[in-house]
């Protein structure tokens, strides 16, 4: 059981549930939240993240990408979980996410079904299939789009049964922070990824530019959504700026640390994302209460 818990990669699950929390906070601020749907949205989103992690581990094993890892141990490459078991687990998680998502489709329509199916397919396409996104330098774009734009706006659609521009603006923050979580991994693994032909963005542009992208994304996540939303929702949506000192510390560390030391930055980035989620959610609700 501990091996499977490790394979789930609990520290990455913030990318699954945080956008749901933010989309729900926006819906609550607008007075249209559907609370019975919240547990199902969170479960489906987290299961899609887990499926992506499982497929990632399986496909990286096939391509030998985990043989000289600097990061945390991968169970399949270490022989702790067989490829067949990981494949079966991936299918089980995907199937469970699909079944649990059906009540959300019934409530909000075929748009939600389309969102869910696309997300499940892309969870596989991230490292699987004939054109694995992570191996083509598109992983960061994938994280921004699916764990930012689609996750937040899709959550709002489930609640409201309609699209909302504010949900799109709000999604920029979590999209950038999800890309940062992936970015730390890729910066840490530049050497081993390059050796197996995994052409991540960090491999393509180099370590220093990739580190500065992390810094820029951190600052933009704190500024852009608040700047846009504050124009009509008030100053409370600037509450995430409270996390700026922590963001500066992480930015200094990403520019300084190398190798296994970046694992601490990865954990810190997940914690920063969690802090951002709490602050923005509170800010949205407080702004609506004024």
In angstroms, rounded to a whole number, what is the distance separating the alpha carbons of residues 235 and 206?
38
Q: Assign 129 to helix, strand or coil.
A: coil
State residue 65's pLDDT score: 61
pLDDT above 70 (res 73): no
Q: Which range, 50-59, 76-85, 104-113, 201-210, is most confident?
A: 201-210
Pick the more confident residue, 72 or 67. Answer: 72
Average of per-residue pLDDT across 116-136 = 85
Nearest Cα residue to 137 out of 202, 60, 208 = 202
DSSP letter at 126? Answer: T
Nearest Cα residue to 152 out of 17, 23, 281, 273 = 23
pLDDT above 90 (res 9): no
Token pair, residue 138, equals: 């598109």
For residue 141, give the CATH number of its domain: 1.10.600
The rounded mean pLDDT for the chain is 91
Q: What is the pLDDT of residues 224-279, one digit of tens each?
A: 999 999 999 999 999 999 999 999 999 999 999 999 999 999 999 999 999 999 99
Q: What is the pLDDT of residues 194-219, one digit of tens each?
A: 988 889 999 999 999 999 999 999 99
In sequence order, the 6+-apart residues with CB closer than 8 A to the CB of 168 are 149, 152, 153
Q: Which of 7-21, 117-131, 177-191, 272-286 has the weakest average pLDDT? A: 117-131
Residues 284, 24 contacting (CB under 8 angstroms): no
Max CA pair span of the chain: 56
Q: Could you tell me the CA-to-CA distances from 44 to 54, 155, 231, 241, 285 in Å, in that order?
A: 15, 11, 33, 30, 24
Confidence of residue 68 (pLDDT cuts 50, 70, 90): low
Pick the more confident residue, 177 or 57. Answer: 177
State residue 108's pLDDT score: 87
Token pair, residue 228, equals: 């846009």
**Domain carrying residue 110:** 2-289
Number of independent structural domains in the chain: 1
Quickly count: other Cβ atoms within 10 Å of residue 192's Cβ: 18
Residues 67, 75 contacting (CB under 8 angstroms): no
State residue 78's pLDDT score: 79
How many whole angstroms from its chain centre is CA 136?
Answer: 18
């Amino acid at each position: 059981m501990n091996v499977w818990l490790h394979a789930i990669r609990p520290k990455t699950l913030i990318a699954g549930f945080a956008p749901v929390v933010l989309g729900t906070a926006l819906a609550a601020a607008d007075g249209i939240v559907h609370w019975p749907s919240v547990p199902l949205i969170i479960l489906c989103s987290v299961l899609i993240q887990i499926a992506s992690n499982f497929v990632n581990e399986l496909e990286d094993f096939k391509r030998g990408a985990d043989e000289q890892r600097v990061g945390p141990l991968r169970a399949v490459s270490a022989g702790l979980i067989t490829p067949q078991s990981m494949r079966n687990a991936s299918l089980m998680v995907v199937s469970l996410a699909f079944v649990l998502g059906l009540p959300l489709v019934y409530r909000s329509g075929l748009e939600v079904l389309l969102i869910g199916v696309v997300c499940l397919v892309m969870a596989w396409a991230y490292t699987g299939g004939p054109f694995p996104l992570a191996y083509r330098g598109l992983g960061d774009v994938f994280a921004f789009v699916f764990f930012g734009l689609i996750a937040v706006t899709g959550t709002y659609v489930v609640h409201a049964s309609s699209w909302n521009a504010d949900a799109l603006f709000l999604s920029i923050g979590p999209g950038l922070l999800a890309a940062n979580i992936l970015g730390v991994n890729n910066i840490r693994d530049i050497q081993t990824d390059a050796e197996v032909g995994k052409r991540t963005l960090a491999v393509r542009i180099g370590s220093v530019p990739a580190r500065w992208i992390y810094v820029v994304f951190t600052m933009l996540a704190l500024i852009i959504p608040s700047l846009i939303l504050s124009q009509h929702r008030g100053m409370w949506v600037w509450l995430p700026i409270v996390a700026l000192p922590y963001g500066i510390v992480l930015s200094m560390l990403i520019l300084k640390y190398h190798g296994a030391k970046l694992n601490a930055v990865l954990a810190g980035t997940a914690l920063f994302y969690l802090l951002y989620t709490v602050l923005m959610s509170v800010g949205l609700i407080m702004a609506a209460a004024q």
